[in-house]
Amino acid sequence: MDADMKATGRLAGRVAVVTGAARGIGAAIATKLAHQGAAVMLADRDVGPAQAVAAELSAAGYDATAIATDITDEASVAGLAAAVAARWGRLDILVNNAAILDATPLEELTRPRFRAVQEVNQNGALWTVMSLLDLLKRSGHARVVNIASILGVRGCADSVSYGTAKGGLVNLTRLLAVDLAPHGILVNCICPGFVDTRMALLPDGSGHEHETDWFRDIYIKYGRIPLRRPAEAADIAAATSFFYGDDCRYVTGQVLLVDGGLSATF
Ligand SMILES: NC(=O)c1ccc[n+]([C@@H]2O[C@H](COP(=O)([O-])OP(=O)(O)OC[C@H]3O[C@@H](n4cnc5c(N)ncnc54)[C@H](O)[C@@H]3O)[C@@H](O)[C@H]2O)c1
């Protein structure tokens, strides 16, 4: 991309925050935002890799920086808001992407573990919005995109804590869309299906779920995923860019499944 495109991207002058931007889907979304001309704050509790992504973008001439943020920690998220206000004095786009995976079998699920997953995957998004709300209100055309999961609208084994939190995030999207509409803030939700990221590594460390025989048979060979491949992080970033961009004018409180057609089959 040449210097002219950097200066005249469709999001030039906009400021964006992406949580969980150190890697995977969040890094892909932050990179796309930068390429589209937005200034980007990459917020992640794992700040080292987030700084590496930001440094790469900065070296290429984009306005990107990283900050250590734990979305479950009130002071930490307040620090994120203060840093955005100090650096740019505005915020136009928030992508709530940070989350943790939990595949604890039902019989082994404990209250502390269940609570911890809700705290990151559902409540973290709410309190990040709340902390950044004054800035978002001032934008006049702010966009919030929540990255939930197909497990927020469908069931699957060993997913009670993760799926409950993601289901909550799906409806939180609608509730925030209603409450924030008077401020011109549009709130929408992306539900990815299977995505090729670290989160899809098998818990026993034996590899990637997409490389297993069961995945290749059921989802690819027999076409349970009609597009016959897992998503790349860039596929999720591409769909997200509709919701944070200016073409999203009269759409709010909506949920888009980005799953290669998985949810269209039975
Ligand atoms: N990979 C998939 O197959 C898949 C499928 C559906 C939905 N998703 C969702 O997409 C989003 C991104 O997932 P990914 O696959 O890129 O995962 P990932 O594990 O590669 O990245 C998640 C990032 O979130 C950060 N994070 C976790 N807890 C945090 C906290 N408390 N505060 C700040 N940062 C925190 C992690 O450090 C990490 O960098 C998540 O919301 C996930 O639930 C992923």
Q: Are 140 and 214 within one domain?
A: no
The Å distance, Cα 202 to ligand 1 centre, comes to 15
Pocket mutation for ligand 1, best pick of 76, 97, 235 (most atoms within 8 Å of C-beta): 97
Cα 103 → chain centroid: 19
Give the C-alpha separation, 183 to 142, whole Å. 8
Q: Are 90 and 58 within one domain?
A: yes
* 62 in catalytic set: no
- Please give the radius of gyration of the chain, using alpha carbons only, rounded to the nearest integer: 18
Domain assignment of residue 214, given as a range? 199-230
The Å distance, Cα 101 to ligand 1 centre, comes to 7
Using DSSP, state whether 169 is helix, strand or coil.
Answer: helix
**Are 167 and 117 contacting, i.e. CB atoms less than 8 angstroms apart?**
no
Give the domain CATH number at 168: 3.40.50.720
Atom of ligand 1 nearest to the CA of 233: 16
Give the C-alpha separation, 200 to 230, whole Å. 10
Flag whether 266 is in a domain. no
- Residue pointed to by tokens 């495109």: 5
Q: Are 133 and 213 within one domain?
A: no
Q: What is the dihedral of CA 184, 130, 244, 192, to 10 degrees?
A: -130
Q: Are 160 and 191 within one domain?
A: yes
Please, which residues have CB within 8 angstroms of residue 157's CB and are 6 or more apart in sequence? 105
Q: What is the CB < 6 Å shell around ligand 1?
A: 19-20, 22-26, 44-46, 69-72, 97-100, 120, 124, 147, 149, 192, 194-195, 197-200
- Taking Cα atoms as reference points, which of 140, 139, 231, 240 lies closest to residue 189? 240
Q: Are 249 and 144 within one domain?
A: yes
Q: Is 37 left (phi over 0), alpha (psi -120 to 50) or beta?
A: left
The Å distance, Cα 148 to ligand 1 centre, comes to 10
Per-residue pLDDT of the chain (266 residues; tens, 9 = 90+): 444 445 458 999 999 999 999 999 999 999 999 999 999 999 999 999 999 999 999 999 999 999 999 999 999 999 999 999 999 999 999 999 999 999 999 999 999 999 999 999 999 999 999 999 999 999 999 999 999 999 999 999 999 999 999 999 999 999 999 999 999 999 999 999 999 988 888 777 778 889 899 999 999 999 999 999 999 999 999 999 999 999 999 999 999 999 999 999 98
DSSP code of residue 257 = E
Q: Are 88 and 212 within one domain?
A: no
The Å distance, Cα 229 to ligand 1 centre, comes to 20
pTM passes above 0.95 = yes
- In the structure encoding, which two tokens stand for residue 122, read together? 């559902």
Give the C-alpha separation, 86 to 93, whole Å. 16
Give the C-alpha separation, 145 to 124, whole Å. 13
Q: Of these residues, 162, 219, 244, 250, which one is catalytic?
A: 162
Q: Are 215 and 249 within one domain?
A: no
Q: Structurally, how many domains does the chain consist of?
A: 2
